[in-house]
Amino acid sequence: MCGINGVIRPASQENAKSYVKAMNGAMAHRGPDAEGIWSNESIVLGHRRLSIIDTSAAGNQPFVSQDGNLVIAFNGEIYNYLELRNELQGFHSFSTETDTEVLLAAYEKWGIQMTERLFGMFAFVIHDLRSDETHVVRDRMGVKPLYYFPSNHGLFFASEVRSLLSTGCVPRTIDPQGLREYLKYQTVHAPRTILEGVKMLEAGHRLHFKGNLMQSICYWNAKNPPLQQVDNLSRKEILAGVYQRLQRSVEMRMRADVPFGAFLSGGIDSSAIVGLMATSSKQPIKTFSVTFNEKQWDESTYSNLIAKRYQTDHCEIRLSATHFMQQVPQAVAAMDHPSGDGPNTYVVSQVTREAGVKMALSGIGGDELFAGYDVFLRLDRLQKQRHISKIPRGMRAFIGKCYQLYKSSAASEKIASTLATPHMEWHEVYPLVRAIHSDRQIDKYLAQPIQDPLWVNQLCVDIESTNMPFLSKISLAESNSYLQNVLLRDSDQMSMAHALEVREPFLDHDLIEWVLAVSDVQKYPHFPKQLLVEAMGDLLPPEIVHRPKMGFTFPWDQWMKHELKSYCIEGLQALQRHPLINGLEIEKSWQDFLQGSTRITWSRIWPLVVLGQWMKINQIEGT
């Protein structure tokens, strides 16, 4: 894993090289092992390297093919590079052990269609000097980020927004619709970002440059995969398919030439990953858990149970809640793009890297794939209570308003909004479920009307048009919105702040396609993530399967009112100064929160604090 950047079709090669040098410097934390720049009249490429496979200097980038016809800047890992290398042996004579060289050889043989053969997380740019064309590619699930900005100086691209800003060519201006989307969902969904003109390449997409033309192409979409034929299979065969695909995914993600380990919370997802790692390794697996002195947040009982069961080399990182809270400002400062989540990943990544580990496996994606969130069951119940939708919409809306007046809270707001939807279909309700602020509240926060881009709404409508099982539709909504645009972006920026590579076995596209094709009858979680648990067999002890779900549910309410109060005020004041924001309404919400309002919870205020701090740190215009 690394950081890439560059300028495509630069107006001036010399100026572009200075821009790339600045971008390399801004992302030094992503690749402390080496850096490089390559240029010609058509493109300037920059790279910062965190060496994981073939750590020798032969793997430094930008990487040029043996015949000098191809050059690549690559961030990520190709997990099936050994299989591809074997397939290409008669075609290409390899001079390194890197997956980077395999990528170029695969392109040489199969062209850009070789992306369909890749298992991995990646963002890369290949320039073909023979045809003077450039391909910019992002992995199927959007694990690795890639941002771009078209300008008169050329098209800038980089692994981080901060790198783009370092050039001085990207305006530090908030995108109005991006702002509205952030206020609603605590993130901005690709291709939009919080900055005007800056785009994020969507997952499963590539850009093709030929001459002065740029074409965006979707090469994989989880909404339209070649559905696996599982309808006629027995449950035993379905479970075997899950196990085999996840086991292969874990084994491929254990390929590395540096020390690696796994995050272990003691939950179902991380325990399954560690169990599969242990069965595939002759050496003890290094595992890392954050534990707390305060019993109500401590999960060490469960993580220690798994560590002991699989005889891992276990590192228990014991913190106090106060120590964790003290790391929060550093975590926010490390954010490349604002988000209402992420500090927990920052802390565990920091201590994991300090232990000498450069790569770790994570259980991210298990909840989305195996119906692990409450939203799956809530929306399923809604579908089964369709008789309520037969009540005239106006009457339902009136009942909702009455309930909201009777019990003013964030939950009652969402119930009222649900009752007011036209048909109470899941695709109408899901955007409300994931929203942290109502449209009415957002209108108050904005100093002027800003149109809602309705990205999540359209996503749900598109998913509803597919013939997938109902639970799989919710999986797609969760994966394409919350997973890709919050969890994965946070995981990348928080881990790479410490030069730690994180790999996610649950995001293997073959596994995803298999599980999405499983019927609701087979997948329904009568207990947490039943399909996954039964597929793992005796790898998961009952104490893990039926444990209470915990997580980082710290006393944010108290911290924000006391220890973090001045930090929160500083962030909110920076936000209030922006011309798009109604500062008086922000202040009113802050005061309501301080006075214990059940409607303005800490989870609604915190994303505002983060946004203000991010704008202040990055000197965004108007703050």
Catalytic residue ranges: 2
Closest CA to 72 of 33, 101, 32: 101
Which two structure tokens, joined as six digits, stand for 461? 């409508």
Is residue 62 reached through a cis peptide bond, with omega within 30 degrees of 0 on the bond before it? Answer: yes
SS (H, E, C) 295-329: HHHCCHHHHHHHHHHCCCEEEEEEECHHHHHHHHH
The one-letter code for the residue type at 584 is: L
Which residue is listed with tokens 């201590």?
351
Rounded to the nearest 10°, the torsion over CA 595, 600, 601, 606 is -100
DSSP bridge pairs for 77:
121
CA distance 463 to 481: 12
Residue 460: closest CA among 431, 483, 438, 424: 431
How many C-beta atoms surround the C-beta of residue 46 within 10 A?
A: 31
Coil, strand or helix: which one is 620?
Answer: coil
**Contact yes or no for 343/249 (Cβ under 8 A):** no
How many Cα atoms sit within 13 Å of 590 on the Cβ side?
24
Phi and psi for 318 in degrees, rounded to 5? Answer: -95, 125
DSSP state, residue 598: S
- Provide the pairing of β-strand 286-292 with 199-200: unpaired
> Is the peptide bond preceding residue 191 cis, with omega within 30 degrees of 0?
yes
CA–CA gap between residue 404 and residue 413 (Å, rounded): 6
Q: Could you tell me the CA-to-CA distances from 78 to 345, 425, 459, 494 in Å, in that order?
A: 23, 40, 29, 22
> Residue 601 CB: number of other CB atoms within 10 A?
16
